[in-house]
Each structure stands twice: as C-alpha cells, then as structure tokens.
Structure 1
Amino acid sequence: MGGVWEEWWWWCARPGRLPRAAPLTILIATVLTIITLLFFLNAKGLSRHPVPHQVWDLEDHDFDGAPQNHPDLVSYIRQLHLLAPSTGPYNLHNPNFSDFSQNGQSKKIEKILKGKRGGFFVEAGAYNGEELSNTLYLERHLGWTGLLVEPDPWNFWTLRKRGRKSHAVHACLSPSPYPKEVTFKQSDTMGHIVSGSEENNPHGIFTRVKCFPLYSLLLALNTTSIDLLSLDVEGAELQVLKTIPWEKVIIRVVCVEYKHVPEGGQALITYLKEKGYALDSTLGDDFIFVRKDIVERQNEGNL
C-alpha cells in the first residue's frame, strides 16, 4: 500500500500537475478517511455488544406489539439499548450542589426511606442527568444506582457526558404494555409524545423515538424491585403506570408529575390508592406516593 501512495504523490508532484491534481487528491483522502472511521466505529460497536446472531437479525419493527416480558425483546433491550454506568468521574456543571431536584424531592425521598443506602431508582424524564434531577443526590451521596430514561436525543447526548453511575437508555417509557415507536416533539424539559391533535402541526422539532414498557426495561436489568420510580413524562404518567404488572414488581416510592396528566391529578391519586399507595406529600408539580405497608411500618416504628 505504501508504494501505491508514494507513486501517487510522486505523480501529483510532477511539474504542472499539482494544481490540477490537488482537489482530486483531497477528495480521495477525505473519502478514505471517512471510510476508515466508519469501519473502526462499526468494529467498536460490534465488540461492545457481543450478542447472539438471532438478535442482530431482528429489526425494531419486529417487536411492535410484542408482550413486555418476551425474552427476545428483553435480550434486544439489554444488548442493544442499555448503556452501562460510567466508571469515570462525574462531569457536572455545578459539582458543589447537593440536591439538584427542583423542589427538594431527593431529600424528601431520603427522609421517607430513612436514609437508605445502595437503593435502586428509575428516573423517566431524566433530562440532562444533572439539572432538575430527582436522583443525582441519591446516587452521589447515598450510593444509589438505577436507570435513567430520556427520549430527547439532545438531552440524552448531554446526559451521557455527566458521568452518571447508573444505566441509561435513549427511549421513552411506553404508554402501552408493549414496545412501540412514536413521534416525539423535542422541547428542552417539555418534550413529549405527539398526540393526534399535534400530528398536523408543522411547528417544532420532531423525531422518532422507541418506547419500551417499564417492565421490559426492569427485566433487561434483572430486577423487579425499585426503591424510587420518578416519573415526569409530560402527560403520559397515568398511561405508563397502567402498563406495570403490579403483582410482579415492588416499587416503594413513586414520585410523579401530575400537572400535564389529561385525566387530572385526582386520577393518579385514585389509581395508585387502588394499587396500595398513600399520598405522602405534594412538592411543586409532583405527588409523592409511598406503599402503604411502608407507611404502616413507619407508624409502628419498624422502619
């Protein structure tokens, strides 16, 4: 290969040829560079996700409507969508902050769970992993880990740079008990799944995003026990909660935004009461619910 390049440069350098050959040389060099980069990036991706061939052969649309506990779906999420926790240092804009949550949700949850260490959370609507985070305090100060769910590609790109010690997935929580792909409107902290009334509105920035059921994501993480579910999905909160097979999972505390729920905040209270939860407090636009058995143990002084 070296001899070929030497002959090429010798030919280009001959008197009278360089001015005409230079643009072509630059073009060829650029194309070769791009091909080389793509090759190495693809090779890196393959080595990072050693998965069975049958998973590679499946396309995203093959899972549309699949049961949320389907083993192929769970393997697909685990191998191709979950990003591992960072092993490096945090890269925060405001590292001296303690509680990054908007209205003290993190400290409230710490109090409810009596300062529990090493807990597990799921934060849906994780934004950039730092600002307005309900889980960063728990992760940094109490050694928690968990899953950060963020569908907005710009926010997720920023989140990945924060060095969070939790898994992350660029997706939304499905409002149905099966995976689906939706149109998502990007809008900083207000991004949301597009409703029927918005589909013909050309204003805004839209993208297609995969949605996975919460239960599918938990199975991909090999856990069905959550200390905190933080749910801020701009209106789809009740729908997401209704996809959960409550008899198969344990969720101790639910922090859920009620402001944009079409059915209203009372619908959230009614539904979660039926599932065995008590409304503990309201902080800003969030309800904080606690499993009744935890409340009872707290009242008895056993927690």
Structure 2
Amino acid sequence: MDKPPEPKPNLIDKLVIIFAESTHSPRFTLPAFMKAPPNELYRRLLPAMLFVLTFVTVMTMLLIYMDTVALGAQQFRLNMTRDYELARIGQGSAALIAYVRQLHLTARSKPQDVVTTPTEQVKVLDSIFGEELYNGTFVEWMASGGRWQSTSYLESARGWSGLVARAAPQDYFALRAARTLHACLSPNQHPREISYEEEGFWTRVLCLPLYTVLAAAELSACRYVVLDAPPALRVLPFRSLQLQVLEVIQSDPEIRNQTTDFLLSKNYTVAATFKDSIMYSLKTN
C-alpha cells in the first residue's frame, strides 16, 4: 500500500525554521593566538608586557621628578622671601670670626686709580691727627655705591690699608680696595641672612655685626670708620675697640640727632658736619 504523500511545508513553517536557525547560539571559538602552546603564548605577549612595564616606569619617574622640581621651586621662593636670624651665634664668636676671615675677606684683584685730591673729610682727619697721617687703617661699609672718595684718596695717595664692604652684588664686584667683603651690616649682636633686591634680581646676602668684621680683619684699633647704617653702632662693645674717627653717612635729621646723642654718650665728640654725613672723633683721656 502506497504511503500518502507528505504535506509540503507552508510559508509559516518555513519562516519558523528560518527563525530557529537564525536564533541558534553560535559556537564559541578561541582566538588563534590562544590556541598556541603556553611557551609560544608567553613569547608573543612578552613585547607587549615589556612595553606596558616600561611605560609605567617612565611615567612614574617623570611624575616623581616633576613633584620634586615643584617642591624645590616652592622652597626656593620661600627662602628668597624669608630672613633668618642666626641668634645663637654671638658677634664675638671665635668660630664666626675665623669663618669670616678665611672665607669672606678677599684680597684686591686689580690695581685702583690714584686719587690725588684730598676731600674735606680728609682735611678734618688731618686736623684731628695734627698732621698728614700716612699708613693708617680704615673701614668703609655701605649698602651700595662706589668707593667713598676719602678712603680712596687715603689708600692711593697716603698708603692707608683697610676693608671695603658692600651689600649690593654688582657694587661689590666693582670694588677696588686692599680687602673687600660682600655683606651687609647687621643691627644685632648676631649675623643674619636676608633677601636683597638689585635691579629686579633677588639674591641672598649675609649680614654681619661690625664687631665681628673688625675682629676678623684685625682692625679693632682703626683710625677711620665710614658706614651708612647707624643702628649697627648700638651693639658695638666700645670698651673693646679703639675707633678714633667715625663718619656716619646719613641725611635724615632725626637719625642724625639720635646717632649724635648716642655717640656723645660713648665718649665721642662731633668733629665736622656735612650735608650727607657727620664725623665724630674719640675723645683722648
């Protein structure tokens, strides 16, 4: 007996079959490099791993370097705006005196021009000493500016020797003197370190007590001292010094009067008065 013919699938059945085939989950397959043996896999991955490791190392070092530079710049700016009081070091400290003598006092590097005309201050000195004194000693200490004409004449024409100090770096390097010092005058009995601005450029300058420098330069007995910072005189141990003539460069009337009153109490007398300075002479007992 013949089998009845199978019914042909209709359109709906065909759509069901097609949908079932399209929604069937595809078979998961591994990438080709994953099918390789372990040793071969490591060999292929090694360059990429080395690149990542090198990149991370370089970036870490760069970040550390940038942080270090930023902290250093911040500390530098802080140091340039802060003054340091070295209060534990007294002006008579033997270590400080030796430090200044060995590391800060420098000899003249170039000869200076001869000054042949004496100044009015030199004439006052001659009247105080009673003669044209030769081979005397002097100290000239100012914040800035060129050589003081009086000491320059005494050094070149009469053979005087001494020390010239400036706080301004450019003026210091331009000095021509027997000995020079790059420092400012400290108004205290101890050294200081301060910021100094010159033509928009900031630098650090050591401020030293006058007594320390006199001792370091072996000028505790000095014929002539010129300075422009009167407060530095107030911390001097005058009993340990023999400063015969002091010239204070100052034009402010109030400061001039205060300085005069102070020095009169220290056995000095007014020797001469000028527009920008006053000369004081030590009384002889």
- On whether the aligned pair clears a TM of 0.5, the verdict is yes
Question: Residues 100-125 of structure 1: CA distance to partner in whole angstroms, max 9, x if unpaired?
Answer: x6xx3233223322211111111011
Which residue of 1 is the match for residue 24 of structure 2?
Answer: none
Which residue of 1 is the match for residue 139 of structure 2?
Answer: 122
Q: Is the CA contact 1:126–1:133 (under 8 Å) kept in the aligned structure 2?
A: no
Which residue of 2 is the match for residue 301 of structure 1?
Answer: none
Task: Report how far residue 220 of structure 1 moved.
Answer: 1.1
Q: Is the CA contact 1:124–1:148 (under 8 Å) kept in the aligned structure 2?
A: yes
1:242-257 correspondence to structure 2 within 5 Å: 242-257=234-249
Q: Is the CA contact 2:85–2:190 (under 8 Å) kept in the aligned structure 1?
A: no
Which residue of 2 is the match for residue 98 of structure 1?
Answer: 117
Answering whether residue 140 of structure 2 is matched by residue 149 of structure 1, we say: no
Which residue of 2 is the match for residue 222 of structure 1?
Answer: 218
Question: Residues 247-290 of structure 1: CA distance to partner in whole angstroms, max 9, x if unpaired?
Answer: 100010011123147x5211111100000011111122111111
The one-letter amino acid paired with 1:286 is S
Which residue of 2 is the match for residue 176 of structure 1?
Answer: 188
Which residue of 1 is the match for residue 208 of structure 2?
Answer: 212
Question: Residues 216-269 of structure 1: CA distance to partner in whole angstroms, max 9, x if unpaired?
Answer: 11111233101111012xxx31x10012100100010011123147x5211111
Superposition misfits of 4+ residues, deviation over 6 angstroms = none
Answering whether residue 97 of structure 2 is matched by residue 74 of structure 1, we say: yes
User: 2:232 aligns to what SS in structure 1?
Assistant: helix
Distance 1:137 1:149, change over 3 A: same
Distance 1:62 1:76, change over 3 A: farther
Q: Is the CA contact 2:115–2:153 (under 8 Å) kept in the aligned structure 1?
A: no
Output the CA distance in 2 between the equivalents of 1:230 and 1:223. Answer: 13
User: 1:222 aligns to what SS in structure 2?
Assistant: coil
Task: Report how far residue 185 of structure 1 moved.
Answer: 3.8
Q: Percent identity?
A: 31
Output the CA distance in 1 between the equivalents of 2:202 and 2:125. Answer: 34
The one-letter amino acid paired with 1:106 is V
Task: Report how far residue 97 of structure 1 moved.
Answer: 5.0
Task: Report how far residue 205 of structure 1 moved.
Answer: 4.6
Which residue of 1 is the match for residue 125 of structure 2?
Answer: 109
Which segments of 5 or more consecutive residues in structure 2 lack a partner in the other structure? Answer: 1-83
Q: Is the CA contact 1:126–1:148 (under 8 Å) kept in the aligned structure 2?
A: no
Which residue of 2 is the match for residue 287 of structure 1?
Answer: 278
Task: Report how far residue 173 of structure 1 moved.
Answer: 1.4
Output the CA distance in 2 between the equivalents of 1:173 and 1:139. Answer: 22
Output the CA distance in 1 between the equivalents of 2:135 and 2:205. Answer: 31
Distance 1:71 1:284, change over 3 A: same
Q: Size of the alignment, in residue pairs?
A: 201
2:267 to 276, 281, 289: 276
Which segments of 5 or more consecutive residues in structure 1 lack a partner in the other structure? Answer: 1-60, 188-203, 297-303
Distance 1:63 1:82, change over 3 A: farther
Task: Report how far residue 63 of structure 1 moved.
Answer: 5.1
Which residue of 2 is the match for residue 5 of structure 1?
Answer: none
Q: Is the CA contact 1:179–1:210 (under 8 Å) kept in the aligned structure 2?
A: yes
Output the CA distance in 2 between the equivalents of 1:98 and 1:211. Answer: 33
Q: Is the CA contact 2:85–2:191 (under 8 Å) kept in the aligned structure 1?
A: no
Which residue of 1 is the match for residue 43 of structure 2?
Answer: none
TM-score scaled to structure 2, two decimals?
0.64
